[in-house]
Chain A
Amino acid sequence: NAGVTQTPKFQVLKTGQSMTLQCAQDMNHEYMSWYRQDPGMGLRLIHYSVGAGITDQGEVPNGYNVSRSTTEDFPLRLLSAAPSQTSVYFCASSSQGYSNQPQHFGDGTRLSIL
């Protein structure tokens, strides 16, 4: 049972580099989202998608891009990495975009920007 799979698990970047964090789910979930986790701040929503071809911004979208070309995949792109983007990133999915649906989380990507 794969669930939500994130790659890579760890990454170190230099300031100004770009990269893509991958997220894939095999549960045919319509709703997918990206969060970042920082000490003392809980998790904050970056971007989300209610279905293929539809994305929207969350609480902290600046510096990140997303796209949703398939139901299964929801990559997160850092265009020009900054030290402030050092964080642990979690991808999540749920079967529907309704508020009572629990979300399934991946194991996270730990990203360090030097």
Chain B
Amino acid sequence: GNSVTQMEGPVTLSEEAFLTINCTYTATGYPSLFWYVQYPGEGLQLLLKATKADDKGSNKGFEATYRKETTSFHLEKGSVQVSDSAVYFCALSGTGGGNKLTFGTGTQLKVEL
């Protein structure tokens, strides 16, 4: 079946540091890949997505590239801010039809001044 593995947290960075959160997946066919972000006490919000190999999703300074050869979708940001503190989830969506999401376990990011 489908699975997503992402780096464990918590990750603590200083403001303006470079961020990488690793995500790899296992799936048959060509899944769509997503990063969702969860701020404290809130639901998940879509951060970015990529729907085919070599696509780059980007939003709010965050980027991730769909790498089929390494089955990866690593999240990066060049300069993090305190407001980026949240939990980040990597997810993939159904190669077998439908829109069922398979999530990683989440990575908590804390950015300090």
Given contacts A33-B100, A50-B98, contact A102 B43 (CB under 8 A): no
Whether A99 pairs with B46 at a CB distance below 8 angstroms is no
User: Which of A33, A99, A107: most chain B CB closer than 10 A?
Assistant: A99
Determine the residue in chain B with the shortest Cβ distance to A90: B43
Given contacts A42-B89, A99-B94, contact A106 B100 (CB under 8 A): no
| Interface presence of A11 (CB below 8 A) | no
Q: Which A residues touch B106, using CB under 8 A? A: 42
B28-64, CB under 8 A of A: which get 1 and which 0?
0001101010000111111001010000000000000
A28-80: which have CB < 8 Å to B?
Answer: 31, 33, 35, 40-45, 48, 50, 58
What total of A-B pairs shows CB separation below 8 Å? 70
Q: Which B residues touch A90, using CB under 8 A? A: 43-44
Whether B99 pairs with A103 at a CB distance below 8 angstroms is yes
Q: How far is the CA of A100 from the CA of B33 in the complex (A)?
A: 8
Whether B100 pairs with A102 at a CB distance below 8 angstroms is no
Given contacts A33-B100, A43-B89, A48-B100, contact A100 B32 (CB under 8 A): yes
Given contacts A4-B43, A99-B31, A108-B43, contact A45 B104 (CB under 8 A): no
Listed in ascending order, the chain B residues whose CB lies under 8 Å from chain A are 4, 31-32, 34, 36, 41-46, 49, 51, 89, 93-95, 97-101, 103-106
Interface pairs A-B: 7 shortest CB-CB: A42-B103, A105-B43, A99-B93, A102-B46, A100-B51, A105-B44, A99-B94
Listed in ascending order, the chain A residues whose CB lies under 8 Å from chain B are 4, 31, 33, 35, 40-45, 48, 50, 58, 90, 92, 94, 96-108
